Chains A and B, each alone.
Chain A
């Protein structure tokens, strides 16, 4: 609670649980999204990401646990400050993009908001009288984002917002989210399968696996947590192992026919190189390797099988 007051969380869940029949889709999830965060919500298909978002937005009722939005349990008041895009974008198929915005602007209390500018902003400025039902997947996604942005929400909840977008569209949406976050202070909770794309904007991560929140970490912590190693290529791996072991007794080593992998971040590669050469070990190469985020997430999400 004290942390809550200091940090200003816009979303806090306490042991949030959702059970469908005998299946526990969310299992005691305690999540914290701070004001100003771009919170990347990561998990495999069916891990519980959309379910959690639906619970936050009142589309589904929790079986157990509590939700706080903007530090309050009055959830519908909080939801009035949220713009959301959950699963497939929802809009009136037989209306144009502008007509859809006109309708939803009433709900979002967005009187006076320049709807044409908003359409331009998401790249739908030139769609004219085309009915939204005839839009391509990417256009529908953009319209969904525009609807979410109505009323200048303080928090955006976006479930796979870049699904179906081309690379240019992905970049545009990424830049748009960054701009909203930096210029207007909008907090963003975003889920995506495209981890590399997410990593470009996210300031905090939540990793969910089989309905359980496995880890919450900041982008900085994540960078530190990603595994670093030094790969030493040599014809004499056993001898190299002995020398490195003497230098770094606590550091785990992986020995193979082609060399030794030293698994640690703070390794003086120059010192290792000198020691090996002085002891007559033929060093063919030294490479510093950092595991990419994808590997890290996959490991946290239960590996390829989990």
Chain B
């Protein structure tokens, strides 16, 4: 397992697309903060930390996870891995763990970037109220949900182009269609409550408006990402266990 971890870790860090996507994401954040500064609407550094993952970060995740997860199947190198006696489950979970580790590390870097840049632009640090801590913790949890969704989709499809497309627009499309169906059927059910992008936005907004999160918000922030991880990562694992290469 140690060898496989080292192999995957090395491969991911040597993946140029990771740095390109990451750099583009940071550039978007930089431009957003710069324009806020120019308009004189620069929030505190802690406040900007809370919004760091809400502008471009999830797109970065959707692309880099698809590129990483589909790399071995698209280049057929997965054959070399299985042929060396590494079980499908082990390969799957190591890929999951490595990409999750990088995802969390990049989230922390985004936060740090926004915090430092705000300070450099002359913004205040801000006071660390409960809502900020809750927002950061819940956002990280939601990002784990996002990672599970993107990783699961990529491993299910095993096709690079399709995975990137679905990761970028698939969730929104599915929820728009579901909303339409529910509205046509006149059922009283707020499907958007379960939408990850909506959840992330709600967490960011709550952190900016309330001193403390409501318990229902915390519960929603904890449970929904778990549902995504279990559903998509589980489905990807089940399919990959039996898939011929």
Identify the A interface with B (CB < 8 A). Answer: 54, 57-61, 75-80, 82, 84, 86-88, 90-95, 103-104, 106-109, 147, 157
Residues of chain B lying within 8 A (CB to CB) of residue A103 = 7, 10-11
Give Cα A103 to B88, complex, Å: 19
In the complex, B177 has a CB within 8 A of chain A: no
Once A88-B76, A90-B75, A90-B76 are accepted as A-B contacts, the answer to whether A106 and B83 lie under 8 Å apart by CB is: no
- B3: shortest Cβ distance to chain A, in Å? 5
State whether the Cβ of B81 lies closer than 8 Å to any Cβ in chain A: yes
Contact B82 A57 (CB under 8 A): yes
Query: Distance in Å from the Cβ of A69 to the closest Cβ of chain B?
Result: 9
B75: contacting residue among A75, A78, A91, CB under 8 A:
A91
> Are B81 and A107 in touch, CB under 8 angstroms?
yes
Cβ A107 vs Cβ B80 within 8 A: yes
Judge whether A106 and B85 touch: CB under 8 Å: no
B80 contacts which of A61, A76, A90, A94 (Cβ < 8 Å)? A90
B residues adjacent to A (C-beta < 8 A): 3-4, 6-7, 10-11, 14, 16, 71, 75-88, 242, 244-245
Given A59-B245, A103-B10, A109-B3, CB of A92 within 8 Å of CB of B83: no
| Contact with A57, one of B83, B88, B242 (Cβ below 8 angstroms) | B83
C-alpha spacing A108/B244, complex, angstroms: 22
- B83 near A59 with CB under 8 A, answer yes
Docked-complex contact A104 and B76, CB < 8 angstroms: no
Task: Collect the chain B residues with CB atoms within 8 Å of residue A78's CB.
Answer: 85
A106 with B7, Cβ < 8 A, contacts A58-B83, A80-B85, A82-B83 known? yes
What is the CA–CA distance of A109 and B86 in the complex, to the nearest angstrom?
A: 12
Additional A-B contact list (18), CB under 8 Å, known A61-B242, A108-B84: A54-B244, A59-B244, A60-B244, A75-B85, A76-B85, A78-B85, A79-B84, A80-B84, A80-B85, A84-B80, A86-B79, A90-B76, A90-B80, A91-B80, A94-B16, A107-B7, A107-B81, A157-B83
A-side contacts of B7, CB under 8 Å: 103-104, 106-107
**A106/B77 in contact, CB under 8 A:** no
For A99, give the chain B residue with the smallest CB separation.
B14
Selected from B4, B10, B75, B83, the residue in CB contact (under 8 A) with A79 is: B83
Bound-state CA distance A90–B11 (Å) is 15
Instruction: Assess the B85–A90 pair: CB atoms within 8 A.
Output: no
